[in-house]
Structure 1
């Protein structure tokens, strides 16, 4: 009988403690929503991206991996910069080939040319 009475008193104490902590434990408001973790070191917006920027890039982890928005933003930025660099390289190569062709003298046959050493038959005019 003593054990039963002890268990009832312990149950009342536990229920009372839980009730007091739930009712009087908070300020009555809900907890504020936690801000989502954002990319700490985004790619620099004011200058071109360098190799060190890409190596230092770290995406925050979420429940299922990385935040797709952060990864998509970084990949879009890198893709745009690569396309810009490819266009610049193509422009510079075109300008270089144009400059080379403008400065190269035309290949004219000289009067003191060495005899033909090819395996082709000489033309009929050469036999006179």
Structure 2
């Protein structure tokens, strides 16, 4: 009985090995080459990247995770756009601060000119 189980195990292992390696066809016994996956829907080049673009992005898989070149391209593009947006936000905040400073310290306080009456008197009409 033991000898029968050993022989059956050897036959099963040999059959699985031949099936994986492809022992009967003319491919030379090698596994078929799989075509590498590429990024199907890259980020749009004609407009800024939005939240929906990032959510819809699916990076292709490689043997050990994701394709490094595609990940580097996506991260570089997103980083550049974030830096551009940060610079634009800083520019707009500086412009807003300048406008607010002009309104507070400039001519905005005395549109009709300074008052000539004393603090306790009624204004003259």
TM interval, shorter chain, is: 0.5 to 0.7
Partner of 1:51: 51
Q: Which runs of 5+ in 2 are unaligned?
A: 1-23, 28-32, 121-125
TM-score (norm 2): 0.58
Q: Which runs of 5+ in 1 are unaligned?
A: 1-20, 27-32, 114-128
Aligned pairs for 1:3-82 within 5 A: 35-82=35-82
Bigger CA radius of gyration: 1
Alpha-carbon distance, 1:37 to partner:
1.2
Report if aligned partners of 2:36, 2:62 keep a CA contact under 8 Å in 1: no
4+ aligned runs moved over 3 Å, structure 1 = 105-108, 110-113
Q: Give the structure, 1 or 2, with the largest relative contact order (CA under 8 Å, sep 6 or more).
A: 1
TM-score (norm 1): 0.57
1:112 aligns with 2:119: yes
State the distance in 2 between where 1:42 and 1:104 align. 48
The number of equivalent residue pairs is: 89
